Structure 1
Amino acid sequence: MKKWIAAASLTLGVAALAGCSDEESASEVIASSSAGDITKDELYEEMKKTVGEQALQMMMLEQVLEEKYPVDQETIDAEFEEAKAQYGEQFDMVLSQQGYDEESFKEMLKLNRMQENALVADVEVTDEEIQAEYDKMKKEVSARHILVADEATALDVKKQLEDGADFAELAKEVSTEPAAQETGGDLGFFGPGTMDPAFEEAAFNLEPNVISDPVETSFGWHIIEVTETREAEVEPLEEIRDQVEHDLKLAKADMNQIGTVVRDLLNEANIQVEDEDLTETFDALLQEPVSSPAAPPAEEPAEEETTEDTEE
């Protein structure tokens, strides 16, 4: 969620830039004091100097995305309610800290979703994959884990557990997870989409009371034990199918390609910039990145000449 904050805030915070250049209202006074007046035109020029290019890029991107990948308000409202439930009583405080009100936060969610839609436009998933993902959503697992720095240590932890070591005590002794000292590695119940993908895949495929092989994630190496499973309450598939499909496509998509997707969309839009101070705004975005030239192959070291020892 937070990865879009800077970009979305920029778009929302300088929205006035779009309307400031109207010739009829450019000289309209928007603030006055005993020291003088400030007009719309003056504000536009000042904003153009500070955030003009970034703002124009984001505003144009939003328009292009809106045309090709619109998002209905029902989807945005659902994401908003999900975020609200996630943060609970702290929700209003989190919005305030990030400089949002409810309206601007929904605008950020909309921009986020449109970019996701563009990224997954050519990604395909099957009905079987959707059904399998939905079936997984109906299951929650309670698991505990021990996190260590390397595979060798993880293998040693696994052996100690199989030899009868107490899981909670061993977690307190060797786990690098700070919370392990309090929890003994217990994570409680969780459903799909809440853990690192590799960790989640391992946990959801484990039978209860079976010690996993070492599982590598961005946090380190885990030894996992599922202690219990239960049915989760989920809406009927026909009501959430679109979201399940979207999430599956997003999981398959190459997130590193978002820059290429944006560049292609902007190129197709045939952008013309009339303000001469902003004519280079899209130059870098519209060009394909230049690949670094390949390093020349290393020269083979010359073979040393050998001379046979001769008797003098």
Structure 2
Amino acid sequence: MLTKIREKTQGTFAWVILILICVPFGLWGLQNYTEGGQERAVVIVGDKEFVQRDVNQAYAQFKQQYADMQVPEQILKTQAVEKLIRDELLLQHVVEENLTISDETVREFIASLQYFQRDGKFDKKQYESMLGAQGMSSAQFVNRIRKALLMEQYQKAVTETSFVSEQDIERFFKIQNQTRNIEYVTVKLESVTTEPSAEEINAYYQQQGSAFQTTEQLSVEYVELSLTSLMKDVIPTEEQIQVYYEDNIAIYSVRERRKISHILFAKTKDTTEEQALVNAQAAKLRLAQEPFATLATELSDDTVTAKTGGDLGLFEIGVMEPDFEKAAAALTLGEVSEPVKSAFGYHLITVTELVPAETSDLAEVKSEVTQAVQRVMAETTFYELGEILTEVSFESSDNLQVVSDELDLEIKQADFFTRNTGTGIASEEAVRNIAFSETVLQGNNSEPVELGDDRLLVLRLKEHQPAETKPLAEVRDIIIATIKTQQARQQTEQQAESIKQQLLAGASVEGIAQELALSVEKISALKRDSKDLSVQLNQAVFKAAKPIAGQPTVIVVGSPEGGQSVVSIIAVTDGVKTAEDAEKAELAFANIARALGQSDYAAVVDGMRVSTRVSIRE
């Protein structure tokens, strides 16, 4: 199970980016990075402290990846904390080493994120809206992405440099193409006809009583305060609509669209800053006679954009360096800038597309504005009524009728649900948790439950059906069938073990099979991918040890149906790499290198951990 967990979370970058950009931007630890909260730290990595909410959010994100797997909660919690620590160790290391990544790389990555795209293209409005919803500036987000990309860069520098020799590949195929000669007999599961005694039935019932319990469930009644419902009662005036439109004109405006291209003359160990400037000036002269895209393809040291004529896409403030942005913003359509200095060298910049800013008339967006005004006006009422709902439901905690009368809310019903599943409002985990709380089970109104930011409800217990053990008479037939099956399996296992011991003592498979009226199956040169055996049996054969000194290896393998196969492994022949294995060799080379790289990376992070203070508090 732990292996599966590790396989599904390979790569620090993948996990960090998932957390950074997961809608609706569940940025774990955001408050700690920006506020320096006063809560007690539960995880400390170097000088970085994580409080309980950081760990909870990290766990929530981690848990989503295993929604389809039955992984114990404690294992997930342990793995989530460990991942949090290792990611922070790596982040601190790349920061301390002053590693850098280009503005172009950061910009291209952000523009490629589907969360910020509309119709397959980067949408500035969507970008600003999602960042604004989290109270985060573009500069803050760019900085976070830059750090995540640096972490990925460092990880790849370790994992992608592992070396695999030809001898490693030969050893791989020696095992992969191995064949085995076996003979085996199968002891089938035979039904037990003897009825278990009353004492056996009663003993099983007493020992396994928890297996025959009903599932605890309850039903509730509740009142719900809904922002959507309140909006229907709001009829804004024309003046209110006009004022809202004017106050929020930016929402209904399209900013200037400016698409740019550049040619980079990089400062490198072979090219000084002065030489890069000279090269840029020379290219500027050539642009009087030659197309910008042609020269970008020929001269630009930005190998990514050079392939597309230097195209950088839509110009976005806050992504590039200030001097670069200032020069790009001042250009007219088709104009080429003077050489612009950046940390990477000098750039020539041009505007290839320019669409002026535009504002939609109120008549065009009136329906949208009206709905926005309705929501704003209804929100005030929603919060006021929410306070009343909280107060009245607490003061009259023994019923919902007072709340219903006070706020004119309908008392609704929810059918039976359990702690883990339900329908309607019970499909919400928050509702199920509070419904099964001690307060509600004692007959009191619940605390208000928030469902999103537009629904608030209070519930109380209607009917409770505790878990209880079913009567013996009701489950008697099930117990009898279970006991018989257990006895049959036990007899089959005992017979298989007896056969194994006889084979180890020197008896022949044929002799035992003849004595017990069993059939012998023999397979020569059995391969790992053979279809002659079940997958389970085939895997067990190749996991077994090789025969030693001419003595066969004997194993017993059970089947899901209850049968037992006793297998004698007579001989093992090492495999060789064949001409047909050329494609497999390439895949094996890549997989082995990847495994070695991941092992090296884990060792590197372990080294960071040794030299860094790491503390976990319960």
TM-score by length of 2: 0.21
Greater C-alpha radius of gyration? 2
Larger relative contact order, structure 1 or 2 (CA cutoff 8 Å, min sep 6): 2
Normalized per residue, the structure richer in strand is: 2
TM-score by length of 1: 0.37
